[in-house]
Amino acid sequence: MLKATERLSRLVDQLLELSQFESGAIRIARQDFLVSQIIEDAAAEVRPVNTDVHIVAEVDNGLVGAGDPERIHEVLTNLLTNAVRHSPAGGEVKVRGAPMPGCVRIEVSDEGTGVPPDDIERIFDRFYRVDAARRSGAGGAGLGLAIAPPIVELHGGSIRAESQKPTGCRIVFDLPS
Ligand SMILES: Nc1ncnc2c1ncn2[C@@H]1O[C@H](COP(=O)(O)OP(=O)(O)O)[C@@H](O)[C@H]1O
Ligand SMILES: [Mg+2]
């Protein structure tokens, strides 16, 4: 009962948030933040979701990002939650932060089954879930990734998903600095 209520509550929150993005009602703060801090906070929050998976952070010391720390935290927890859920037991999830010309690049990669090539363009669509994810009964309503592009784009950045070799999924986003 409690689980069902929590799920419903999360669904309502996510739908509300998406519609706020669509109506242009969301303003993005712009402040400097320590990338290592935001990554560590998100990793600490997601670790209990799957304690069989190691989340490893690799961030350049002192790297500073610009934007809305709460929103970026939200993107990161969504990406990390997906990554640990799709990881094999004993798997490793890497979250990296690195400077690039004109931006900060943040990426989350895992050693899970990855996303079939035919689906990779669509995983950011609202309600879209790959068949295997739907069958597993785990995860949410397919809204976690839908929230990420609007947040990153309001920062003037971009986000993309890639399959990794030999296995796994990698999601990369760039935030202008
Ligand atoms: N790291 C990942 N590895 C494999 N598949 C993924 C990963 N992240 C997302 N996906 C796929 O993208 C779909 C959409 O993700 P999301 O919007 O977070 O929805 P949900 O987590 O509620 O299923 C997932 O259902 C899953 O099929
Ligand atoms: Mg998700």
Residue nearest to atom 1 of ligand 1 (CA): 83
134 alpha carbon – ligand 2 mean position (Å)? 11
CATH 3.30.565.10 correct for 29-176: yes
Contact 103, 173 (CB under 8 A): no
**Closest ligand 1 atom, CA of 128?**
14
List the chain domain ranges: 29-176
**Closest ligand 1 atom, CA of 112?**
3
Tokens of 45: 């929050």
In tens digits, the chain (177 residues) has pLDDT values of 888 888 889 899 999 999 988 888 888 999 999 999 999 999 999 999 999 999 999 999 899 999 999 999 999 999 999 999 999 999 999 999 999 999 999 999 999 999 998 899 899 999 988 876 777 666 678 899 999 999 999 999 999 999 988 899 999 999 999
Contact 83, 42 (CB under 8 A): no
Give how far the C-alpha of residue 32 lies from the chain's centroid of Cα atoms, to the nearest Å.
20
**Closest ligand 1 atom, CA of 132?**
27
